[in-house]
């Protein structure tokens, strides 16, 4: 760059002993159509366990690296997907098809590799982090929570601000949505 040579080492330590990730899954469902395909639905339930997930895990900078690739753990995802298909208008000149879908996924970190109790996936401002820990959903958000009274109301301090907990390692949320959904319309003329 600008007449000078530039070189650097990668900050990730590779691992020659990695095993391939393996996923075991099953899915059951039902699909049906009625009234000459004017109304239909599709519903399914799935369960997937992914073992030996390949993940960069933080290591000491004294090694000259920041992360090492490891088979870090096992995650389970299970959920339900529902889809409704409608054909409200069907004629020779015009056709309207509508699809409404809804899905809910729940994940859980079943285990992490030996010696790791919590895998920090991201560290964000304000002491907030995104984590993977056994028994918790993948993407658990940790940070400082509010202090609550016996009725579940947030306590306000003398300065007029909500009182915060002393530790910043409490689970305060999850990166995964409660549900997803959508509506699509197709018009043909």
At 94, the pLDDT band (50, 70, 90 cuts) reads very high
At 1, the pLDDT band (50, 70, 90 cuts) reads low
Question: Taking Cα atoms as reference points, which of 81, 58, 60 lies closest to residue 68?
Answer: 58
At 58, the pLDDT band (50, 70, 90 cuts) reads confident
Give whichever of 51-60, 63-72, 92-101, 114-123 has the largest mean pLDDT: 92-101
Q: What is the pLDDT of residue 74?
A: 95
Judging by beta carbons within 10 Å of its beta carbon (0-12, 13-18, 19+), is residue 82 exposed, middle or buried? Answer: middle
Would the pTM of this model clear 0.85, i.e. be above it?
Answer: no
Average pLDDT for 96-107: 97
Residue 139 · residue 175 · CB < 8 Å: yes
Q: What is the pLDDT of residue 7?
A: 80
């Amino acid at each position: 760059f600008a007449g000078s040579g530039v070189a650097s080492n990668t900050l990730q330590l590779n691992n020659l002993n990695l095993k391939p990730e393996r996923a075991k899954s099953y899915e059951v469902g039902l699909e049906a159509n009625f009234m000459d395909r004017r109304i239909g639905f599709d519903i399914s339930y799935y369960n997937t366990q992914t073992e030996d997930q390949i993940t960069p895990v933080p290591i000491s900078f004294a090694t000259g690296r920041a992360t090492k690739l490891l088979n870090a753990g096992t995650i389970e995802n299970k959920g339900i997907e529902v889809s409704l298909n409608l054909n409200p208008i069907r004629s020779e000149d015009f056709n309207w098809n509508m699809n409404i879908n809804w899905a809910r996924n729940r994940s859980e970190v079943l285990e992490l590799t030996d010696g790791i109790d919590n895998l920090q996936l991201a560290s964000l401002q304000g002491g907030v982090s995104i984590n993977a820990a056994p028994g918790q959903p993948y993407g658990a958000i940790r940070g400082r929570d509010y202090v609550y009274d016996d009725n579940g109301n947030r306590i306000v301090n003398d300065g007029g601000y909500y009182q915060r907990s002393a530790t910043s390692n409490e689970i305060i949320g999850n990166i995964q949505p409660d549900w997803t959904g959508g509506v699509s319309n197709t018009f043909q003329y």
